Amino acid sequence: MPIARINGHDMNYEIHGKGEPVLLMGGWGTFCHGEHHHLPWGLTDRYSVVIFDHRGIGDSGDELDKPATTRMYADDAIGLLSHLEIPNAHVIGLIGMGACIAQEMAISHPQLVRSMVNTGAWLKTDRFLTDQLELFRNVHRDMGFLAFQHAVTVLSFEPEYYNRNIDRLLGVDGVWGHLNGRYPAHSRLIDACIAHDTTGRAGEIKAPTFVLHAGLDQVTGPRTTQPIQDAIPGAEGYLLAEAAHVIAGKAMKARFSELLFDFLGKH
C-alpha cells in the first residue's frame, strides 16, 4: 500500500476504480485494508476513489504534540490531493468527522472541491452530541475497546439491522476495529469532532452540496444535519427516514447509492 509524506506524517492511502476522482473520508475508521467493500455500492465502478487512514489509524503515523482539529485533518486530505496531482475532486464525507473535514476543505480550498456530500455530520456539536462523544471517549479509556464498540454500535445502527447482525458487528474483527489498541488516536479524533465549528463560515461554501438526513440517527440526524443544508447556499438535502447513523442493509445501501449517483451525475 502506498505511503505519502503529508504534513509531517506518513499517510497511508489507496485508490480504487477508474473515472473522475472522488475523495472519500469516513469518521473514526478507515475504508482501507480490505474495507473498501463498505464503500457506497457501485462507486468504484464509476469513479476513481481515493481513501486513506486518518492519523494514528491503520498505517498512518501521527504527531501527538500537534493539536487535533478538523482543519488539520483537512490539510492532510488537501496534501494528499496535491501529492496525487488531482486538481479537484468530488469530496464525500461519510459518517460524522469525514463530512466535517469536507466542510473545512470546501471553505479553505474551494477550487479543490468539485462537489461535496455530507452524512451524519454537524456544523458545531450541541450539548447532546458533545456528551455522547465524551461518553464514548470515557468508555474506551476506562472500560476498553470492546465496551466502547458495543456502546457506539447500539447507537449507530438501525435496530432491526443490529438484531440481525450483532454477532458480526461486535468483537475484535467487528466495526471500528481499527481503533482497537489505538485509544490515543481515537481521543484525538474526538478532540477534533468536539472542536469543529463552521457556523458563520459554512455560507462561504461554493461547492454543490448534498446533505443526507437520516431519520433514525440517534447520534446526529436531522437535528444536526438540517442546519448544514440551511447554511450552505443552494445545498440539496434528502430525508432517508429509515436510515440510522451508519447506512447499512441492502435496501438502505441501494437507496443511498441511487441518491449519491443522482447528485454526482449533475456535477
- 232-246: pLDDT as tens digits: 999 999 999 999 999
Name the band, by pLDDT with cuts 50, 70 and 90, for residue 65: confident
Residues 104-114, mean pLDDT to the nearest whole number: 98
- pLDDT of res. 48: 98
151 backbone dihedrals φ, ψ, rounded to 5°? -65, -45
The average pLDDT across 202-224 equals 98
Residue 134 predicted with pLDDT over 80: yes
The answer to whether 53 touches 59, Cβ cutoff 8 Å, is yes
Residues 214 and 95: their CA atoms lie apart, in Å, by 11
Cα–Cα distances (Å) from 150 to 57, 155, 156, 167, 176, in that order, read 20, 9, 10, 11, 10
Question: What pLDDT is stored for residue 63 in this prediction?
Answer: 86
Question: If you average pLDDT over residues 129-147, what whole number do you get?
Answer: 98
Count the residues in the chain. Answer: 267
Q: Average pLDDT of 43-56? A: 97
Confidence check: pLDDT of 1 > 80: no
Spatial separation of the C-alpha atoms in residues 30 and 101, rounded to whole Å: 14
210/154 Cα distance (integer angstroms): 27
Task: Please say if the pLDDT value at position 148 is more than 80.
Answer: yes
Q: Share the mean pLDDT of the chain.
A: 97
Cell numbers representing residue 139 in the block = 468508555
Share of the chain above pLDDT 90, in %: 97
pLDDT at 143 over 90: yes
Q: Going from the N-terminus, what domains does the chain have, and what CATH number goes with each?
A: 3-123+198-265 (3.40.50.1820)
Within its chain, how far is the Cα of 115 from the centroid?
A: 15
Tell me the mean pLDDT in the region 131-153. Answer: 98
Interval 53-61 mean pLDDT: 96
Q: What's the pLDDT at 64?
A: 82
Phi–psi pair at 156, nearest 5 degrees: -100, -15
Give the Cα separation of 242 and 223 in Å (integer): 15
151/140 Cα distance (integer angstroms): 10
Task: Read off the pLDDT of each residue in 114-136 and give the average, rounded to a whole number.
Answer: 98
Percent of the chain with pLDDT over 70: 100
Distance of alpha carbon 215 from alpha carbon 102, whole angstroms: 22
Report pLDDT digits (tens) over 163-210. 999 999 999 999 999 999 999 999 999 999 999 999 999 999 999 999
- pTM beyond cutoff 0.95: yes
Reply yes or no on whether the pLDDT at 3 is more than 80: yes
